[in-house]
Amino acid sequence: MWPAHGTRFSHLVSDASLTELHEFAAAAGVSERAFDRDHYDVPERLHAELVARGAERVSARELIRRLRGSGLRVPARDRPAHRRSVLTDRWERTLPGSASLGAELIDRWDEEHRHYHTTAHLLDVLEALDVLCAPDEPPRSVVLAAWFHDAVYQGVAGQDERDSAALAQNVLPRTGISGPEVAEVARLVRVTAEHQVGEHDRNAALLCDADLAVLGRDEAGYRRYLRQVREEYAHVGDADWQTGRSAVVQHLLAQEPLFHTPRGAARWADRARTNLTDELTALRGGPDSTA
């Protein structure tokens, strides 16, 4: 039920292809506006007609099972509107009464020129912090630094972090946060430029491990990350990209440790080094080059 409209809906999906789904919907007169990434929202009044046209009526659980099995399922977290809702709730818990600032930050992370440094990455970092700190809550200064660490993003390494830190220093005092906490947030944001962590710097260790957790994805997830990063640098030619990205990968591989918290190292370090090593081989045009 969609309360705002008082209408009951079901989902129309294909377990074969989006082409089949679009063709079936078009033939039945279902509006293109009803399509939402992997399904059509179908009002109850059309349900019987679609079944008569050949759609199979199944339970919600069975529909999701088949959609996942087909590989066409788009997870809820990958839907921008869903992420925005989740992030809005998280911001309110972090800094109650500052909704306008939270909305401004989410808008920044949603800028059109971003492909990897998006609200999806922000949510990934926040969830990684939850993992690293469980069962306790992450320190607020670390959470705020996660929100700000790529709030300014133009693809200029170092400058983006400095500008993001400056943004935090400019806007956070208006929320009533103390000067020392604002300074700590800005410091942590700057740390993410090089991910250099001092021996007893727990806050920086938490933020850097959460930011680099993407390196520990499975093979498919890592390839998706690489595609998104390359899209952000689409204006850079292949030769310059290979040179620049190789330097970044070598810098990461040279860090010892790569992850500074015990949980981060246990969860992501081995897979991350494998991913980075394979990527460097691919960048150098090695025999297993598939990236």
> Which amino acid makes up residue 256?
E
Residues 227, 221, 135, 191, Cα dihedral to 10°: -30
Tens of pLDDT along the chain (291 residues) come to 555 456 788 999 999 998 999 999 999 999 888 888 889 989 888 999 999 999 999 998 899 889 888 888 887 667 777 788 889 999 999 999 999 999 999 999 999 999 999 999 999 999 999 999 999 999 999 999 999 999 999 989 899 999 999 999 999 999 999 999 999 999 999 999 999 999 899 999 999 999 999 999 999 889 989 999 999 999 999 999 999 999 999 999 999 999 999 999 999 999 999 999 999 999 998 544 443
pTM summary value: 0.76
| Beta-ladder partners of 35 | 40
The answer regarding whether domain 80-214 maps to CATH 1.10.3720.10 reads no
> Which amino acid makes up residue 126?
L
φ, ψ for residue 197 (rounded to 5)?
-115, 130
Q: Which residue is it, tokens 């020392």?
A: 180
- For the chain, domain boundaries: 9-74, 80-214
Task: Report how far residue 213's alpha carbon sits from residue 207's, in angstroms, rounded to the nearest whole number.
Answer: 10
Rg (CA), the chain: 22
